Amino acid sequence: MRTPATQPLLTSTQLGQLLRGARKRRGLTQSEIGARLGLSQNRVSHLEGHADELSAKQLLTWCAVVGLELTMAERQTHTPQAGESTAQTGTSPEW
């Protein structure tokens, strides 16, 4: 049995890409996801590009539908090396 891969999720853009990819791997259309979330296909399309607008309930339901598990952990800290800015490390949040 293959161990599921985990990946850090630092931006809403990454979240949208992850949700879209999981939906496609499951062979589900935006309309099918929408039906399970009580949303239109247009809204699902919008949320895949603007995942920061998802409610917690929508996110958890979407994850359940596409077979994802939401896990939270303390963020790994990275101390910038000499000459490396914080922006280069990718540790600043997307606001």
- pLDDT tens digit sequence for 7-59: 788 899 999 999 999 999 999 999 999 999 999 999 999 999 999 999 999 99
- pLDDT recorded at residue 84: 58
Per DSSP, 71 falls in state -
Q: Which residue has the tokens 């949040």?
A: 93
pLDDT, tens digit (0-9, with 9 covering 90-100), for 43-53: 999 999 999 99
Provide the whole-model pTM.
Answer: 0.73
What are the residues whose beta carbons fall under 8 Å from the beta carbon of 54, sequence distance 6 or more? 15, 47, 62
Quickly state the pLDDT bin for 94 (edges 50, 70, 90).
low
Tokens for 69, please give them.
Answer: 């598990």
Span 12-69: which CATH code? 1.10.260.40
